[in-house]
Amino acid sequence: MAERRRKGWREGAHVVANMMIVALFLFPLAWMFLGAFKAQGDLLSPTPVWFFTPTLEHWQFIFENWNVERHMVNSVIVSVLTTLLTLALGLPAAYGLARFPIAGKDAITFEILSLKMIPPIAAVVPLFVLTRQVGLYNTLTVLVLLNTAFQLPFAILVLKSFVEEIPSEIDEAARVDGCGSFGVLWRAILPLSVPGLICCAVFVFIFSWNEFMIANTLVGGDLRPLPPIVGLALTHRGILWGPALALGVVVLLPVLALTFALSRYMARGLTFGAVKG
């Protein structure tokens, strides 16, 4: 009985600890969501205001003055095209690294990983000069290409681990049926990699959706995606906290919706290689 009681206390302590950790991470999001519906006076109050009359003035302001709909369309176009292009290039590269006896494979993998270590701010000035010279400055095309370049190393390394977990006997069976290398990739590897592809796609989409530095430097006006628009909250009269929080909610909601919609596939993808048969 005493052992059962101690076990119950331990389980209860674990539950409470997990709830506290979740609350710690969710509190900033909840505060941002509540702040988006607070009046300016409540936001600037020296003491936190927990009970207030909701207002839509901040939402009305950003949709009337910041052209949020147009910038959201830009973000969707850039993020979706980046995700599709990254997966289209990443899966064949991952398949090649995982299956073919390439000389210096470890060195190539390390080089791919090192590309992910380059901070975007270190490449902003050279990319600005380059895009001006090739005529891609202030276009959505440059955002798609650069986001793909920055996300491709991540996609290759993630998808490589998924391909390695697929038994090589499946490749051999496909070749016996007359498939070449591309046929094996298309008919055998691709269907079995769907959980990994979806998991990778979600992360690439989120990274592209949240990208700020490149988008704020190389694109302006109505072609900017959503994240750089938050800079409009910095005015000569001060920071417009209400509109900034409302815009933060607008930026966050599509990502949350996508994550929850694909959470089942993400769980399968993240545990795809956890246990080998």
254 closest CA partner among 227, 233, 230: 227
Per residue in 121-171, pLDDT tens?
888 889 999 999 999 999 999 999 999 999 999 999 889 888 888 888 888
Tell how many helices (H) and how many strands (E) occur in the chain: 14, 2
Q: What is the pLDDT of residue 2?
A: 66
* Every domain of the chain and the residues it spans: 68-270
256 closest CA partner among 210, 193, 195: 210
Length of the chain: 277
In terms of Cβ atoms closer than 10 Å to its own Cβ (0-12, 13-18, 19+), residue 232 is middle
CATH number of 68-270: 1.10.3720.10
Note if the pTM is more than 0.75. yes
Q: Which residue has the tokens 């701010």?
A: 121
125 closest CA partner among 218, 215, 209: 218
CA–CA separation, 99 vs 237, rounded Å? 60
- Residues of the chain with confidence (pLDDT) below 50: 273-277
What are the Cα distances from residue 143, in Å, to 72, 114, 153? Answer: 14, 21, 17
DSSP H/E element including 220: none
Q: Quick check: helix, strand or coil at residue 155?
A: helix
174 closest CA partner among 101, 110, 95: 95
Q: Quick check: helix, strand or coil at residue 59?
A: helix
Judged by phi (left if over 0) then psi (alpha if -120 to 50, else beta), residue 79 lies in alpha
CA dihedral 231, 232, 233, 234 (to 10 degrees): 70
DSSP H/E element including 210: helix 194-210
